[in-house]
Amino acid sequence: MSFFEIVQQIDSTINNIVWGPYMLVLLVGTGVFFTFRTNFFQVTKIKLWWAGTIGQLLSKEPKEKPDDGNITPFQAVTTALASTVGTGNIVGVATAIFSGGPGAVFWMWVSGFFGMMTKYAEIVLAVKYRETDENGVHHGGPMYYIEKGLKIKWLAVIFAIFGTLATFGIGNMTQANAIAGSIETTFGIPKLATGIVLAVILALVIIGGIKRIASVTVRLVPFMAVFYIIGGVIVLAINIAELPGAFGAIFANAFSMRSVGGGIMGYTIMRAMRYGFARGVFSNEAGLGSAPIAHAASNAKDPVQQGLWGVFEVFIDTIIICTLSALIILTAGLYGGEISGSTLVLDSFTQTLGAFGGMFVSFAILCFAGSTILGWSYYGQQCLYYLTGDNKTVDMAYKVIFSLLTIVGATGGLTFVWSVADTLNGLMAIPNLIALLLLSNVVLNLTKEYLTRGK
Higher local confidence (pLDDT), 59 or 170: 170
At 169 the pLDDT is: 78
- Continuous H helices in 169-264: 174-187, 191-206, 209-238, 243-254
> What's the whole-number mean pLDDT along residues 224-236?
87
CA 30/CA 116 separation, integer angstroms: 11
Amino acid of residue 4 = F
What is the pLDDT averaged over residues 414-427?
72
Q: What is the pLDDT of residues 156-165, one digit of tens each?
A: 999 999 999 8
Distance CA 25, CA 77 (A): 27
Q: What is the pLDDT of residue 260?
A: 34
Is the predicted pLDDT of residue 441 greater than 50, yes or no?
Answer: yes
Least confident stretch, 56-70, 93-107, 182-196, 421-435:
56-70
**Predicted local distance difference test score (pLDDT) of residue 225:** 81
Rounded Cα distance between 253 and 443, Å, is 36
Mean pLDDT throughout 337-366?
78
User: What residue ranges do the domains of the chain occupy?
Assistant: 36-58+66-454
Question: Residue 262 pLDDT more than 50?
Answer: no
Is pLDDT of 20 > 90?
A: no
The predicted pLDDT at position 259 comes to 31
Check residue 263 and give its pLDDT: 37
**Is the per-residue pLDDT at 271 higher than 60?**
no
The highest-confidence range among 216-230, 305-319, 356-370, by mean pLDDT, is 305-319
Q: Work out the mean pLDDT of the chain and round it to a whole number.
A: 81
At residue 333, the pLDDT reads 76
Percent of the chain with pLDDT over 70: 84
> Which of 272-286, 288-302, 375-389 shows the lowest per-residue confidence on average (mean pLDDT)?
272-286
pLDDT of residue 409: 83
* Mean predicted confidence (pLDDT) in 378-391: 90
Residue 267: its pLDDT value, please? 42
> E strands, 102-188, where?
131-132, 138-139
329: amino acid identity, one letter: I
**Lowest-confidence segment of 97-106, 291-300, 314-323 by average pLDDT:** 97-106
Mean pLDDT of 179-187: 82
Asked if 158 and 71 count as a contact pair (C-beta separation under 8 A), the reply is no
**DSSP letter string, 257-276:** ----TT-SS-HHHHHHHHHH
pLDDT top residue among 306 and 220: 306
In this model, does residue 250 exceed pLDDT 60? Answer: yes
- Sort strands 138-139 and 131-132 into parallel, antiparallel or unpaired: antiparallel
Local confidence band at 266 (pLDDT 50, 70, 90 cut-offs): very low
Residues paired with 324 in a beta bridge = none
**CATH fold for the domain made of 36-58+66-454:** Amino acid/polyamine transporter I (1.20.1740)
Q: pTM here?
A: 0.87
pLDDT tier, 424 (very low <50, low <70, confident <90, very high otherwise)? confident
